[in-house]
Amino acid sequence: SQMVECLSSFTLSPGKCGDLLGQVSMSFLMFLYIYCSGEGGWSEWGKWQLCSVTCGDGIRKRRRTCSEPIPLCGGSCSGAEEEITPCSTEIICPTHGGWSSWGSWGPCPVTCLYEGHSPQKELRKRTCTNPTPSTVPRGNLCEGSETDSRPCSGLPFCPADGNWGTWAGHTPCSVTCGVGQQTQRRICDSPKPAHGGKQCRGEEQQTGICIIPVNCPLNGMWTEWGKWSECKPPSTRNIRCRNREGKRKRERDCVDRKYNGDFCDGAFVQHGNCYDIEGCEMKGVLSEWSEWSYCKPDCGPNSAQIREIKCVADISSYSSQDHTIFAGNPRVKCDGLEAQTQRRPCKNVPVCMDKVVMLCSELTYIHFY
């Protein structure tokens, strides 16, 4: 069908050239068929899309296009345009709470009615257990009340217990910028206890956080010291490869100071003595064991520490034996000296996790606006 479509669009010119061509040869027709019926080619696969879920297991997709080359005369690409693969966020999905069915109506909670008030009510309850909200990760609690009520009837008057009034206005925020605390109070007057009724239960004061939309001052912080400058002689005398001290310096910056915060304490520039051993031929000696390194990697069962003995330059002929003040890369002769490395596994290393979710389950914060 592709050949028919292609040849149907091919006609000889009615001019002189058509007479010269004569009858079209079969090889020429085959050439047209091969040229016209080109199959398409797939492009490279695109990037994987994000996982379809934010927790638990899902899928992700990637696509490619039939464009390298584009198919001709109704051709197509062989294979799938889209590829799907499972993915895992390695995050446990929270289970949100759901209400159970209402329980039976309970008995009226009192044997009498409060004078001047609406009658007491009998209650029925339901529980947030269908399902119970998960703790880690924390699921949402059920919306609405766990209790339902209806008025009691046919009861005599009785003593009225006290009930809390609404929360009063809060105190000023404890800070002038950022996050602080403020409190609210309430009074047991809705109603007050009467006829020997009970006092209100619960706290008359509660504390919550408050936010002052003013930036707090941020003090400056020093960056790490930069590299030491070249070790230079204090005079015109040559110090390279000699037991003569030179001078060098390094600098650091005070960064991240904002909103009238304090400047960094200390100096921007540090000066120090040095010995210039750049390119010097020096005898090699074995160092002492280095300190144990930090655990690498910092999580997982393969975390380990190492320490080393290395071939270092012999500086015994110099006035100072502090390797840190020697500047440059000497040519150290380490013939016959063998470096050593010791390795030991780290203990009590945490399991590697892609994301750590911190749950605050012991404190309840109340926002005031």
Residues of the chain with pLDDT under 70: 1-37, 114, 354-369
pLDDT of residue 20: 42
- Number of CB atoms found within 10 A of residue 239's CB: 19
CA 5, 7, 10 angle in degrees (round to 5)? Answer: 120
pLDDT of residue 242: 92
- Number of CB atoms found within 10 A of residue 142's CB: 19
- Alpha-carbon distance 217 to 222, whole Å? 16
Instruction: Indicate the pairing of strand 269-276 with strand 326-327.
Output: parallel
- Alpha-carbon distance 70 to 243, whole Å? 75
Which residues, at least 6 apart from 218, have a Cβ–Cβ distance to it below 8 Å?
Answer: 256, 257, 258, 259, 261
Whether the predicted model's global pTM rises above the 0.85 cut: no
Q: 119: cis peptide before it, omega within 30°? A: no
Return the biggest CA–CA distance within the chain. 125
Residue at 274: amino acid letter: C
Residue at 170: amino acid letter: H
Joined tokens for residue 102? 């209402």
Give the tens place of pLDDT for each residue, 45-67: 999 999 998 888 899 999 999 98
Spatial contact of 213 and 186, defined as CB atoms under 8 Å apart? no
**Separation of first and last alpha carbons in the chain:** 75
